[in-house]
Structures are given as structure tokens and as C-alpha cells.
Copies of this chain bind each other. A is one copy, B any other.
């Protein structure tokens, strides 16, 4: 989750079990408590319901409570034992009088309703009349947007200001943020502060918080090519991301196995490249819905159209796009990466990325560029001739770079920035200064790669330690939790070039049946080790 925790090891990605702020490896009563507290509390913090809390020998619980009930932990956080009650019948989230945003700000109006429901369920529906407000009640949360442009109609960006200040005191709580993006993060924090007491009543403690994210890019990669992911699953993932303050959905939308993106310009891509032309595609309206659902939660949607490798499914819809492989002196009938020696390939890319650049509002597109297999190129006599003409010798990475270079120029012309997997940088392709290099390989060590990328002055994004599809038995969350993208040898200036991290859930073994439980370990979170919660999850 990339927000610094006071006095804690830095952390990047919070999947729910990682909400646990681990103090030591010992299984102390405290750890059990924290574990339970967090595990029991996916949406609303159900403070004081777990084992050690009520029945164990919990030491200094009030002191610890403050630290354990929020994830990620805010930059500055002060809480007192004074608690206010919240009545679903009277509590309101409102625009502050001084706020530059008002009822026409759909992002906020939507968020007010959403967080009210997170906190109180649909209780309000059953309340016909406003209930009396008592002195000890928290009457409202005022949301105060301070900058002249609240960005109500904008999209989140790498530069978005997500900072906020939250003060909970009677009679009103005040959430102050420069714009809607900070307000969204503050609303999430507010909802996490609400807990049920032993009698089931909603409480919130007197609290002061000042917060901003440590990293600007906190991403999740989903792969909708190896298995198709129904819209519902993608939206659920965005919801879980918002709860954990992630802000980038990296949509690895197409790849070798299938091409579910429905292109207006080249409808044959999905017509012939998707698993099924009607049921296993993302229509323009589906894509819009994903982007808008994400925008409402302050989440950027960065699509990845990976070339020249990982493109088998593209070949079904676009004739001559892929390189024909040869067996001896004749074509074998199979195809390799995008054919880099034909002008038609670049004409296609120009038209295709022109569409992509208008469909996806984010300033960046991910262009892939990883794992290009040279064997097909090597088999093809036309390619070999081209290699000679260009003076590439037998170095096919030069041919790869030749392709990528032209592709980058094509995309740059659409005024988009681009992200690429680390191979593109490793191969020495000339890159725009604002290019983001996505580090994913295990060898060489990612720390070395992060150092190299930033030494060259590029923004770096790390994924290597967060390949969450690579499950293993036991407490695998520990290493995931400990990894820090700035943990490499380099200058302060280099460290500042690290924009953040991305957890990847590649799709070989993941589809709608198991995506949510595997990525988020279930909402509610699955157990970290032996133990229990007072309120166990009763679902199946």
C-alpha cells in the first residue's frame, strides 16, 4: 500500500492479510489479537471482538488499538480513548460549507453513499424518521475540498494529490483535502475508524490524522487473456483495491491465448481472437464502465497491449501481422511475433493505438515488450535478409529494438506516455524521458535492475516480489510484505524515481472462480496461521 507507516518497516502492497502490522515474528497474544482484529474486519472494523481482546491477557490494548485499526497506517495519527456514537438514522456525510465541491460533484456524492453503506449497511433504508441526536453522538462528517478545482470531472493521474487531513471530534468530523482524490482516501480511512462496541453500537474515537501516500503508483495487474474475467470480477477487484488504497489497475487485457478487447477499428481482432466473439469480449461500453467505476474510486486504468511477442491471438484477426515461421525452406503454418519488417505492421499499429489512446483516458499506455522469442524470426528467410540489410548481424535483439523503437514513436505521436517491461530498457531502446520501466525479472536481482533503471534517469516500477499468482504453502505473505521498492543501492535522486509497485496476478490458473480469494485472500481475509475470531466467517 505504499504509505509510510510510522515506526514501521516500509511496505508497499497491502493485500488484506498484510494489514497486519507485524512487530515480531513471535506468536504473542498481541500478534494473535492483531491478526484476528484485521481478519475479522474486512469492511467495518469490528474492534474488540477477537480472542485475546476479550478473553486473553492483552497488555496495553488501548495503546495498540490505534495502530492496528487502520491500513495502511496514516503518516500522522493521533487518537484518544474518547468515543462518539454514530447513529445510522441521523449521521450524515455532507459537503462542508467552505468546500469548492457540492452536490453536482458525482465522484463525491457517489462516495458519500458508498461509504455510508460500508459503515451501516442498508440500515438507513429502515429508518423512516430522523432520530434525535445526543450530545455524545457524532452528527456528521464534513468533506471540505480546498482547491479551486476539486477535479470532480477529472481522472486520477500519476501526479494526483491524494493527501488529506481528518479530524474526528464532536459535533462534527472534518475531512479536508485539496481535491476529490484525497477526499476518497480520507473517506476510506474514516470508514475504517468506525467500529462496533460490545453492544453492537457504532463508535468512533476522537482522532486526528494527516496522511499522504508514500508512492504515487500502487497497482494491481490482472490478466484477462489467459482466462476471461467477467466484468463483475473486475469491478469487485476495483472495490477491493479502493479499500486498500491501491490506485492503478494495470489491465493486461490481451495476450497469446485470447484477445477479448473489442476494437471499433479492427473488430476482427476480438471476433476471431477472443475465446468467444460475443460472450468473452469487453465491448466499448464494458471498457467505459470499468474506467468509470475505477474513476469513482480514484483508480487509474492503464491498459497493456503487449507486442511484438505475446500476440498469437492478434494473428487470428489481422492478416500478415505475425511473422510466418519456417520449417526448412517452407512456411510451417505457425506464426511468431509481430512481423517487424513489413510497413503494414506499423500501419496497423498506428491505427490501433490511435483508437486505444482515445478509449483509455489515462496519460500512459503499457506497451509490454517482454519475452520475445527469436526462433521464428530466425527461421524466416525474409527476416534473415532484412537483418543483413540493416547490418544487425545475428543479433535479433537489435531487430526487436528496431520494432519497439518504431512502435514507441507511433504511440508518442498520440501524446500518450508509455510503460514498458524491463527488456525494452535492457536492450538499449531509445526511450522518452518520462517512460516508466516495469521491473519484473528475478534474475538479475531486481535490486540491481532498479538501480540501473534509475541511474539512467528513468522512472521505475517494481513487480518482481509481488507475483501473487505464484502461491506456496505457509506464511508466504511475510516476504511479500517486507519487499520495499526503494531497497537498492542508489542516490536519493534515484530513489525518487521509484514511482511504486504493482502486484501481478497472472491468469494461467486464475479465473472468476478464484481471483478474489487468491488475490485478496478472500474478502474476508483468509487466515495467516492457527487462531480464531469471535465472529467467524460463516460463508462458504
Interface string of A274-289 (1 = CB under 8 A from B): 0110011000000000
Q: How far is the CA of A228 from the CA of B228 in the complex (A)?
A: 35
In the complex, whether A89 has a CB less than 8 A from a CB of chain B is no
Closest partner residue, chain B, to A539 (CB atom): B512
- Give the Cβ gap from A517 to chain B, nearest Cβ, in Å: 5
Contacts of A510 in B (CB 8 A): 526-527
Task: Give the interface centre of A227, A230, A474, A532 by most chain B CB atoms within 10 Å.
Answer: A532
List chain B residues, Cβ under 8 A from A537.
230, 511-513
Interface pair B276/A532, CB less than 8 Å apart:
yes
Which residues, 151 to 172 on A, are CB-close (under 8 Å) to B?
A: none
For the complex formed, measure the closest distance between the CB of A465 and the CB atoms of chain B, giving whole angstroms: 15
Judge if A516 is at the interface, Cβ distance under 8 Å.
yes
Digitize A491-534: 1 where CB-to-B-CB distance is under 8 Å, 0 elsewhere.
00000000000000001111111101100011011111111101
Given contacts A537-B511, A538-B512, contact A55 B530 (CB under 8 A): no
0/1 string, A49-81, CB within 8 A of B gives 1: 001000100000000000000000000000000
Contacts of A513 in B (CB 8 A): 517, 521-522, 524-527, 537, 539
Give the shortest distance, in Å, between A189 (CB) and chain B (any CB).
25
A508 near B536: Cβ-Cβ < 8 Å? no
What distance in Å separates the Cβ of A31 from its nearest Cβ neighbour in chain B?
A: 14
The interface residues of chain B lying within 8 Å CB-to-CB of A474 are: 508-509
Most B CB contacts (10 A, CB to CB) among A275, A507, A510, A516 go to: A275
Chain B, residue nearest A260 (CB): B532
Inter-chain CA distance A510–B522, complex, in Å, is: 11
Q: Chain B residues near A525 (CB, 8 Å)?
A: 513
Give Cα A130 to B237, complex, Å: 45
Secondary structure type dominating chain A contacts: loop
Q: A472 CA to B469 CA in the complex, in Å? A: 10
A230, closest chain B residue (CB): B538
Give the CA-CA distance A512 to B540 in the complex, in Å: 6
CB pair A471 B469 closer than 8 Å: no
| A319 beta carbon closer than 8 Å to chain B | no
CB distance from A103 to the nearest CB of B (A): 32
* Oligomer: number of copies: 2
Taking the closest CB of chain B, its distance from the CB of A230, in whole angstroms, is: 5
Does A232 sit within 8 A of B, measured CB to CB?
Answer: yes
Residue of B whose beta carbon sits closest to that of A42: B513
Q: Which residues of chain B are near A511, meaning CB under 8 Å?
A: 526-527, 536-537
Within 8 A of B (CB), among A204-236: 226-228, 230, 232-233, 236
Residues of B close to A126: CB separation below 8 A? none
Check A233 against B540 for contact (C-beta < 8 Å): yes
Q: Report B-chain residues with C-beta under 8 Å of the C-beta of A23.
A: none
Query: Which of chain B's residues have a CB closer than 8 A to the CB of A471?
Result: 471-473
**A422 interfacial by beta-carbon distance below 8 Å:** no
Q: Which residues of chain B are near A527, meaning CB under 8 Å?
A: 227, 508-511, 513-514
* Cβ–Cβ < 8 Å partners of A470 in chain B: 473
Whether B540 lies near A526 (C-beta < 8 A) is: no
When the two chains form their complex, are residues A232 and B509 in contact, meaning their CB atoms are under 8 A apart?
no
Bound Cα distance A470, B471 (Å):
10
Identify A530's interface contact among B475, B507, B512, B529, CB under 8 A: B507
Residue of B472, B514, B534, B536 near A230 (CB, 8 A) is B536
- Extra pairs beyond A258-B532, A508-B527, A517-B517 (9, CB < 8 Å): A474-B509, A508-B530, A509-B528, A512-B536, A512-B540, A513-B524, A513-B539, A514-B517, A516-B540
A-B contact pairs, 14 of them (CB 8 A): A51-B275, A55-B276, A227-B532, A275-B532, A470-B473, A475-B509, A509-B527, A509-B528, A509-B529, A511-B526, A511-B536, A512-B539, A513-B517, A513-B525
Q: Which 6 A-B pairs have the closest CB atoms?
A: A275-B532, A513-B522, A514-B526, A512-B537, A226-B530, A236-B540
